[in-house]
Amino acid sequence: MIKSLILPGSGEYALGNKERGRKFVITEIALVFSAVASYHQSDSERQTYMAFASEHSGAQSSDKSHNYWVDIGNYISIDAYNEEHLRFRENDDLYEDSELWTWDWDSDANRSKFESIRIRSDLWKLGGSFLIGGIVINHIVSAIDALYLKRISALESISFHPKINPSQNSFALQIDWNFSK
């Protein structure tokens, strides 16, 4: 069981069930490859939207949080962003009007295009997170399967003994499981 928890399929292989082990190994390889590819694509899209924003809005990409990129995709300029947040008295959310934080999109179409690239990057990253969850589940299911195979291999016999009692109008079924040590 521990083997399969560490490397899915290895417990099944050790118990002689190579076909089941093979399925867990193939699943693990596919999930790991897909997760790496998803995170790589997310990073590639991230680099694309940062370069696009720099070219079309003048935004500088160094040391910016994800929220900054969300904000510049939702507002045409830093002035529009700050004005709205001042109206709602959200002074803590204002950006400093400096060259480091400023942006001003050359067109709303480019702002929308940027936003779609940023969202695509976020979706790739979210997909990678789900794939990591799939990897964890694969490890757990493989460990449970290896434990099941180990226990089922220790089963020597199962016997069923029906018991009918016509006088009491009852029926019972006794099941005996015998395990080897």
Model pLDDT for residues 69-127, shown as the tens digit of each residue: 999 999 999 999 999 999 999 999 999 989 999 999 999 999 999 999 999 999 999 99
For residues 114-135, one letter each, b for 16 or more C-beta atoms within 10 angstroms of the residue's C-beta and e for the rest, the string is bbebbebbbebbebbeebeebb
Domain boundaries, the chain: 2-179
Element (H, E) at 30: helix 18-57
CB 69 within 8 A of CB 49: yes
User: CA 45, CA 121: separation in Å to the nearest integer?
Assistant: 5
User: CA 35, CA 135: separation in Å to the nearest integer?
Assistant: 9
Per DSSP, the three-state class of 160 is: strand
Model pLDDT for residues 11-59, shown as the tens digit of each residue: 999 999 999 999 999 999 999 999 999 999 999 999 999 999 999 999 9
Name the phi and psi angles at 58, rounded to 5.
80, 10
